[in-house]
Amino acid sequence: MDKKATLTLHDGRKLEFPVLSGSIGPDVVDIRTLYGKAGVFTYDPGFLSTASCNSTITYIDGDAGVLMYRGYPIEQLAQHCNFLEVCYLLLNGELPNAKQKSEFDGIVTHHTMVHDQLSRFFNGFRRDAHPMAVLVGVVGALSAFYHDALDISDPRHRTISAFRLIAKLPTIVAMAYKYNMGQPFIYPRNDLSYTANFMRMMFAVPAEEYKVNDVLVRALDRIFILHADHEQNASTSTVRLSGSSGANPFACIAAGIACLWGPAHGGANEACLQMLEDIGDVSKIGEFIGKVKDKNSGVRLMGFGHRVYKNHDPRAKLMRETCHEVLNELGLHNDRLFKLAVALEKIALEDPYFVERKLYPNVDFYSGIVQRALGIPVSMFTCIFSLARTVGWIAQWQEMIADPEYKIGRPRQLYRGAQRREIVPLAKR
Ligand code: CMC
């Protein structure tokens, strides 16, 4: 049965719109013809009730605390798959069989080196530049290095660019870190896994051999899996909007990275760790929570709350588990900030302020502690998130380009500025 929604306007006109159903999740009212029929727009700043596209990639049920990539629950993916299998899944819709996996891993592995001239690009940045500033610039610059496959109407070109981005992001992120540290760049090694190779490029120095620790590699791989996609969030919508004009994928991903940098999005784990440092001790939690509840203080409990999850963020639970594993492996189970985070989480979850507003820990609450334990400096956290999210951005961009309904994104506005007026000559103003 065709579902319909009826809108009654202020002048009494009744208009009918189709209601579209997805495979799961709420129905959406298709209002594309609203302006043509009635001459009015809808008003929805922040897209609180607006579906900007249709997608088959990621599903979130924020009330139930569910996250699935291509139908697979995040808990199962985190337990049974590695990051490159998840990349294959996000890009192709299905998990790979053994042959497909080996081919896919091989292609990614053989694209990990960057054009040698790109290394000189780094010299244009100050050493103390934030690595995210460097990342935005260098990823944007990739289109100047790999312009042999930038025809976005050619599916083969799109696939080549996708492989390049997924394969080269770890190399570029590690280079941004090494540049900041004043250490030489470490070239990728093709006999290592994607994540082990990244850790080596980050932490090896030419003077000594780097020992891969499987527990730590698995932890970082899980961070990558948990951050790989999250449907139409701010940075993904930025990538889609940039791509809707026909911009090349490197430019679109650079735009996504810029958006992710903000503290309300990807920068939250950095802000969360800073918050734990500022609180300093379990005895100060009460005072801090008091500030959070005081609307005039402007203080938020970082790593808590989410636009979509009004229940536990399933990624936060997996991240807490990984946090335990990493701290145990490194003999840091008495880590001061971890203990503080656990105590803060417990107190907040019992406080009516957070309960009433359905504010639960999100993925960032524990990811900063894990990354710090892995030796990743705070300023690199959002770069790690960018690395992991690149596959999601690319999958969403690919989906958009291949969608026959895709159009340039062009929101409308409710104009509240001055009405027409005439210029008064300068001498008379
Ligand atoms: N601490 C204190 N109060 C909060 C918080 C928080 N972290 N988050 C929301 N609130 C309050 C907010 O003040 C408001 O209260 P009231 O109704 O009295 O005005 C109510 O909860 C609803 O907040 P909102 O700002 O309308 O919610 P939103 O959906 O627009 O914001 C958010 C979502 C993630 C921006 C917000 O929860 C936040 O700022 N959290 C802290 C930053 C953070 O951890 N961000 C990472 C998000 S997860 C990573 C990702 O997926 O990118």
Whole-number Å distance between alpha carbons of 198 and 216: 12
pLDDT for 87-111, tens place per residue?
Answer: 999 999 999 999 999 999 999 999 9
Cβ of residue 227 lying under 6 Å from some atom of ligand 1: no
Burial of 296 (0-12, 13-18, 19+ CB in 10 A): exposed
pLDDT for 296-318, tens place per residue?
Answer: 999 999 999 998 898 889 999 99
* The pLDDT of residue 271 is above 90: no
User: Where in the sequence numbering do the catalytic residues fall?
Assistant: 306, 364
Token code pair at residue 301: 């409990």
Quick one: what percent of the chain has pLDDT higher than 90? 87
pLDDT for 361-402, tens place per residue?
Answer: 998 888 988 999 999 999 999 999 999 999 999 999 999 999
**What is the overall mean pLDDT for the chain?**
94
Ligand 1: residue whose CA is nearest its atom 34: 306
Token code pair at residue 17: 């719109």
Ligand 1: distance of its center to the CA of 268 in Å? Answer: 11
Cβ of residue 319 lying under 6 Å from some atom of ligand 1: no
Backbone dihedral angles phi then psi of residue 419, each to the nearest 5 degrees = -80, 175
DSSP H helical ranges for 93-193: 98-109, 118-121, 131-145, 155-181
Place of tokens 């070109």: 157
* The pLDDT of residue 1 is above 80: no
Stated pTM of the model? 0.92
User: What residue type is 174 in one-letter code?
Assistant: A
Whole-number Å distance between alpha carbons of 56 and 399: 8
